Structure 1
Amino acid sequence: MTTFTLAGGCFWCLDAVYRTLQGVSDVVSGYTGGASSNPSYEMVCTGTTGHAEAVQVTFDESVIPADVILDVFFTLHDPRQLNRQGADVGTQYRSAMFYEGESQKALFEAALERAASVWDGPIVTTLEPLGAWYPAEEYHQDFFAKNPGQGYCMAVAVPKVTKVRKSYAKYVLAS
């Protein structure tokens, strides 16, 4: 099993998308990349902790290749938006890939190059070493499945899930 730590806006969207893919065994929403210990959602939302809302995606590379996990990441958010995704604004919503070791960093760099060939304009996604990881509060875990009618889920998460399902149909779990 392999785990990637990725940040691309609100973690609810990343969580919702990755849970639809074959070979993904776990998705945990959390916080990383900042200086505060044990931050809460409320603290991270202030933008003062330095943490990003992120997910740790654990997957089986014999079922879904690492490149697909990373290409999905660049499909489900706009990596050209600095410190924001749509109406979510602040460093906590930055596009970032948090690597563990040089081999993972190389995979992430290759994914950035692939993304740059697809997107018009400069990619602002950062590569950062993975530091302390703090799981988000329980109510954030699998938020979309628990709150499918919630306004943000309907307006923001559903279109992202739909886009990934269409683009990566081969890897989507059967309903």
Structure 2
Amino acid sequence: MNEITHKNHSGLERATLGGGCFWCLEAVYQQISGVSTVVSGYAGGAMLNPDYESICSGQTGHAEIVDVYFDPEIVSYRDLLEIFFVIHDPTTLNYQGNDRGTQYRSVIFTHSESQMTMAHEVVKELEVAKIYSGAVVTQIDAAPVIYPAEAYHQNYFRQHPGQGYCMAVVAPKLAKFRAKFHSLIASEFR
């Protein structure tokens, strides 16, 4: 497996986010107007060319992430962050729901100084507004090498909407996103 490389993305920006299982985030970000590509993957660990089995061991240090390419003229990085903080719990350290381990941590990997600044600003705003009962523990770091997950993880919810985890975990997060951010949903998903 190689580092994620994308072609034909001129004029697009990149956001890399981890908030639990990548199937949940992928399903949401694929429905946003202005998002061109969403790739589930792994980032933030020491192992070269990790695979799902090694990630699940919790020993590699990687997080499950989505790599999102978007048109900032249609959807802003801030919009993507606001969605991120609604569809997962950023106050839980190394878990989301029943998914436990460092691979499920809340993390933002930034691709520019402006993304780093924006991520810190949004977290500060959430803390000042006391949106959550606990402290936001989202890790914010410059983007490391990002590896795509195996092919069977890509477009997972689209291919398996009736699968148990998809019905119990992914679908409710998607519904929460759709209810709160209806204006950002791409027309083909309305």
Match of 1:154 in 2: 167
How far residue 89 of structure 1 moved from its aligned partner, in angstroms, is: 0.2
Match of 1:32 in 2: 43
Match of 1:86 in 2: 97
Q: Distance in 2 between matches of 1:90 and 1:62?
A: 36
How far residue 101 of structure 1 moved from its aligned partner, in angstroms, is: 2.9
State whether residues 28 and 174 of structure 2, in contact with CA within 8 Å, keep that contact through their aligned partners in structure 1.
yes
How far residue 28 of structure 1 moved from its aligned partner, in angstroms, is: 0.5
Q: Distance in 2 between matches of 1:88 and 1:82?
A: 11
How far residue 164 of structure 1 moved from its aligned partner, in angstroms, is: 0.5
Q: Distance in 1 between matches of 2:78 and 2:112?
A: 17
How far residue 2 of structure 1 moved from its aligned partner, in angstroms, is: 0.9
Tell whether 2:166 aligns with 1:165: no
Q: Distance in 2 between matches of 1:73 and 1:112?
A: 11
How far residue 115 of structure 1 moved from its aligned partner, in angstroms, is: 2.8
Q: Distance in 2 between matches of 1:3 and 1:114?
A: 23
Q: Residue type matched to 2:136 in 1?
A: I
Match of 1:105 in 2: 116
Tell whether 2:126 aligns with 1:115: yes
Match of 2:5 in 1: none
Which TM-score applies when normalising by structure 2?
Answer: 0.89
Percent identity over paired residues: 47
How far residue 94 of structure 1 moved from its aligned partner, in angstroms, is: 0.2
Q: Distance in 1 between matches of 2:78 and 2:126?
A: 11
Q: Residue type matched to 2:162 in 1?
A: G
Match of 2:81 in 1: 70
Once the two structures are superposed, what CA deviation does each residue of 1:89-128 show, in whole Å capped at 9, x if it has no partner? 0000000001123222101111212332222220010112
Once the two structures are superposed, what CA deviation does each residue of 1:33-68 show, in whole Å capped at 9, x if it has no partner? 000000000000000000000001111111112111
How far residue 10 of structure 1 moved from its aligned partner, in angstroms, is: 0.2
Q: CA RMSD in A?
A: 0.9
Q: Residue type matched to 1:110 in 2?
A: E
**Count of residues in Structure 1 that have an aligned counterpart in Structure 2:** 175
* SS of equivalent residue, structure 1 residue 68: helix
Q: Distance in 2 between matches of 1:114 and 1:156?
A: 27
Which TM-score applies when normalising by structure 1?
Answer: 0.97
State whether residues 13 and 70 of structure 2, in contact with CA within 8 Å, keep that contact through their aligned partners in structure 1.
yes
Match of 1:127 in 2: 140
State whether residues 40 and 137 of structure 1, in contact with CA within 8 Å, keep that contact through their aligned partners in structure 2.
yes
Q: Distance in 1 between matches of 2:149 and 2:62?
A: 12
* Higher mean C-alpha displacement, 52-61 vs 96-105: 96-105
Q: Distance in 1 between matches of 2:59 and 2:17?
A: 20
Structure 1 consecutive aligned stretches of length 4 or more whose deviation exceeds 3 Å: none
Q: Residue type matched to 2:98 in 1?
A: A
